[in-house]
Amino acid sequence: MADLTVSGVSQQGIAAPPKDTPEKVRDAAQQFEALLIGQMMKSMHDAEGGWLGTGEDESASSAMEYAEESFAQAMAHSGGLGIASLVSRGLDSK
């Protein structure tokens, strides 16, 4: 028996998996790269005991986490380390 899908739902009532568009793949790859850059920055920050070796309180720590996350997202969006483009090219070719 053939399983026909209409509007993403098969005759058997099971939702068909959504098709990944190149835009979705690129967005996911950029999010992955931003996460990786953010983790690298956090590791550097934690290893040094604070940026420039200064002690921090809770509010400074929260502000620094937000700044690191925002910077990582901006960096990944503008090309970053090139990881997002490699990942999206690799997934698009399959």
10-residue mean pLDDT profile of the chain (94 residues): values are 51 67 89 91 74 65 86 90 88 72
Look at residue 29 and tell me if it is in a domain: yes
Q: Tell me how far apart the alpha carbons of residues 76 and 36 are, in angstroms, rounded to a whole number.
A: 9
Say what the pLDDT of residue 32 is.
92
Q: Tell me how far apart the alpha carbons of residues 13 and 36 are, in angstroms, rounded to a whole number.
A: 38
Look at residue 2 and tell me if it is in a domain: no
Q: Tell me how far apart the alpha carbons of residues 47 and 40 are, in angstroms, rounded to a whole number.
A: 11
Single out the residue of 21, 1, 22, 20 nearest to residue 12, CA to CA: 1
Is residue 56 within 8 Å of residue 50, measured between CB atoms?
Answer: yes
Look at residue 73 and tell me if it is in a domain: yes
Say what the pLDDT of residue 1 is.
46
Per the structure, how many domains does the chain have?
1
Say what the pLDDT of residue 37 is.
92
Look at residue 78 and tell me if it is in a domain: yes
| pTM of the full structure | 0.64
Look at residue 27 and tell me if it is in a domain: yes
Domain range for 24 is 19-92
